[in-house]
Amino acid sequence: MKHTSIHWFRKGLRLHDNPALLAALKDCAELRPIFILDPWFPKNMQVSINRWRFLMESLRDLDESLKKLNSRLFVVRGHPAEVFPALFKKWKVTRLTFEIDTEPYARQRDAKVVKLAAEHNVQVIQKVAHTLYDTERIIVENNGKAPLTYARLQTVLASLGPPKQPVPVPTLENLKDCGTPCKDNHDAKYGIPTLEELGQDPEKAGPPLYPGGESEALVRLDLHMKRTTWVCNFKKPDTEPNSLSPSTTVLSPYVKFGCLSVRTFWWKLAEIYQGRKHSAPPVSLHGQLLWREFFYTAGVGIPNFNKMEGNPVCVQVDWDDNQEYLNAWREGRTGYPFIDAIMTQLRTEGWIHHLARHAVACFLTRGDLWLSWEEGQKVFEELLLDADWSLNAGNWQWLSASAFFHQFFRVYSPVAFGKKTDKSGEYIKKYLPFLRKFPTEYIYEPWKAPRSMQEQAGCIIGKDYPKPIVVHEVVSKRNIERMKAAYARRSHSTAAQGDDKASKKGGKRKPPAGPSVIKLLAKKPAAKKN
DNA sequence: TTACAGGTTGGCCGG
DNA sequence: ACCGGCCAACCTGTA
């Protein structure tokens, strides 16, 4: 039987290593590659113009690549649950293929679509290709729970063996008996939208530093992979958060949208490592891909992963609610140049270094402003080109010492941290040019410059640039105490401990009939099964 | 049950 | 440029 296949692109915006697309092509008479502009997304999350642009560029590239295979991309507007029944009938579809997406909205969306497909006698084929492993499989292998430490993940993965090899790119030969019927009005009806159609003002887009698309991704991958020594010596903590051009690959946006297959990336690195001395996880480039796997697995296995409430691994903290602080952070008006420069780079360019994310995330939450990591998560979700549900939620919990990382007494200094790799503040001067005339000595702390010097620099602190929003030395000490208190409350509700000290000396072992049912449920089996 | 090791990326001071 | 120790002391996983 010859099929009429829809291949549904969502993430996985590529032709290489795309097993679901290959499945669509098998015994296929008619191929309909589609992308659905689902109004759920802009309604439920802010999307910056830079990320819209990246997505549209990726779709354009996909369409161009499909043209070379005598096919085209159909961009369809509407809710998937409404779009599919219409398309199934209109195109007489017999098969639907797509790559598995594990995010919560994607899961419920896809469940509905699978049901609709069954009702229309459409065969559905779903393939894992967005992660190195099937994250469900990792969880099963780890006794039904997501690993909470990197070492644990590594142990589990060792038992699963290496990730799968990428599958081949479809060729004209694959498509020789398979057509994509296109009408003259294809672009009018199924074309890729302009930024204007998406309600965006193209004037407001940032510099085109990271053009979207599979072709661009593969070029960039090749470019970086040619730097053999650099690849082999790569240690993430040694890379610089505040270099004038990125100190890392910035392949993350391409991996996020699936313009670049994580397996292709993995095996390319393996090829380079082969026979050479090289760095190892967690700090190596392989290690970075495993971090992604770590958080993806956590996102699948931990309920309410992008929230504090109802999230069993997340410490419940009494974060403040302060819109003024939040706006100042978001808009780069905290008065700490290092923080404000990073937030400016984020807003204008859509990418900041991982350690820069650490600095501003710590500052927003446990370090200085004591605001909820969920607020930071929303801002990153809007502004980052590589905004990725699982990684964003996981890393915000990490940095706020809410989960995974617990040494809350290690606080980043908004002054000292940046100096380690950029003593003279070139990075600050690039993104906050109005500070450029301050002498090096004061570039991280311009409020300490004498008035005459501020005048000479043409920038009065408190007028042209804000005074520090908080005094780091004071608030960070207080916040450590608040974290300590939050952790103490947690141990009361989860374990047998009464008062920290009392329980150690033979207090009652019986867990209190708990306020936190969720935590008990999560904790108990963990303690028993291992 | 209890102890202990280890945790991708802290700051600061002194050598 | 890099080390060690101190600060004060969290968690998870394992034995």
Tens of pLDDT, residue by residue over A428-483, are 999 999 999 999 999 999 999 999 999 999 999 999 999 999 999 999 999 999 99
- Of the candidates A518, A530, A402, A526, the one whose C-alpha atom is nearest the C-alpha of residue A145 is A526
Strand C nucleotides with an atom less than 7 Å from a protein beta carbon: 8-14
**Residues engaging strand C (CB under 7 angstroms):** A 147-149, 151-152, 155, 313, 406-409, 484, 487, 490-491, 500, 526, 530
Output the pLDDT for position A501: 34
Closest residue (CA to C1') to nucleotide B10 in the complex: A410
- DSSP conformation letters of A68-125: TTT---EEEES-HHHHHHHHHHHHT--EEEEE---SHHHHHHHHHHHHHHHHTT-EEE
**Residue appearing with tokens 């069954």:** A118
Tell me the pairing of strands A74-77 and A28-37. Answer: parallel
Nucleotide with C1' nearest the A238 CA: B9
Element at A161 (helix H, strand E): none
8 Å CB contact between A327 and A318: no
Q: Separation of CA A420 and C1' C2 in angstroms?
A: 13
Nucleotide with C1' nearest the A412 CA: B10
Q: What phi and psi, each to the nearest 5 degrees, are found at residue A32?
A: -125, 95
Strand B contact with A288 (CB < 7 A): yes
Output the pLDDT for position A1: 75
User: Is the torsion defined by CA of A148, A150, A155, A161 positive or negative?
Assistant: positive
Strand B contact with A287 (CB < 7 A): yes
Q: Separation of CA A530 and C1' C13 in angstroms?
A: 9
Output the pLDDT for position A494: 52
Strand partners, A75: A35
**Contacts with A219 (C-beta within 8 Å, 6 or more apart), sequence order:** none
8 Å CB contact between A200 and A49: yes
Output the pLDDT for position A121: 98
Strand B contacts (CB < 7 A) among A residues 208-237?
235-237
Query: Can you tell me the distance from the alpha carbon of A441 to that of A424, in angstroms, rounded to the nearest whole number?
Result: 8
A434 is written with which tokens?
Answer: 């109005």
Q: Separation of CA A446 and C1' C6 in angstroms?
A: 30
Query: Can you tell me the distance from the alpha carbon of A401 to that of A406, in angstroms, rounded to the nearest whole number?
Result: 5
Q: How far is CA A365 from the centre of its chain?
A: 19
Nucleotide with C1' nearest the A406 CA: C10
Residues of chain A with pLDDT under 70: 492-530
